[in-house]
Amino acid sequence: MRTLKLQVQMTVDGFIGGPNGEMDWMTFAWDQEVVDYVTNLIAPVDTIVLGRKLADGFIPHWAGIAADPESPEKSAGEFFTNTPKVVFSQTPPSPDWANTVVATGDLTDEITALKQQDGGDIIAYGGSSFVASLIKAGLIDAFHLFVNPVAIGQGLPIFNLLDSKQPLTLVKATPFACGIVVLHYKK
């Protein structure tokens, strides 16, 4: 069975966005060590799953970077553009998204079917509702929580839908010079 990984930026107090989705708290001064961590994290990935709201910005953003021959992130842009994506949506998405299919069925059924297919790892990116739904359903096998050195007091959580404990095992905590600590847990 394929592994579903979650990669998400969050605050020390557990939010992935401010109350209105603000992202101004994120630490963007990544050094090569953080870039290398992400490169190693996505190396075995051959499928990306996204919530529709995040996909609206994510897909065009990385396509633009991939198309820019001067971009220092060009290889990342090419990876995120060329890797097959599954967008979970109840509303019609943009028709011009490359390498993208839309899943409108039951989240648990669709993810379980993806995990049972042959292939490499699957990585999830999304907003709080999508990620919280994946967590509640117990679908994530590996959590890569990029904890930024800031607390914002209130915002968009991802563990708020749990109705019972979901035990996790710490695999590794990796601190970086920019202040981010990646907490890698497995289910």
What digits encode the pLDDT tens for the residues 163-180?
A: 999 999 999 999 999 999
Instruction: Give how many domains the chain has, as a whole number.
Output: 1
DSSP for 122-170, written as a single string: EEEE--HHHHHHHHHTT--SEEEEEEES---SS--BSSTT-SS----EE
Place of tokens 């989705």: 21
Distance in angstroms (rounded) separating the CA atoms of residues 24 and 114: 33
CATH number (domain holding residue 47):
3.40.430.10
The answer on pLDDT for 112 being more than 90 is yes
Q: Could you tell me if residue 7 is inside a domain?
A: no
What digits encode the pLDDT tens for the residues 13-55?
A: 999 999 999 999 998 788 899 999 999 999 999 999 999 988 9
Q: Could you tell me if residue 8 is inside a domain?
A: no
Tokens of 34: 């953080």
Q: Could you tell me if residue 85 is inside a domain?
A: yes
Q: Could you tell me if residue 29 is inside a domain?
A: yes
Q: Which domain holds residue 79?
A: 14-179
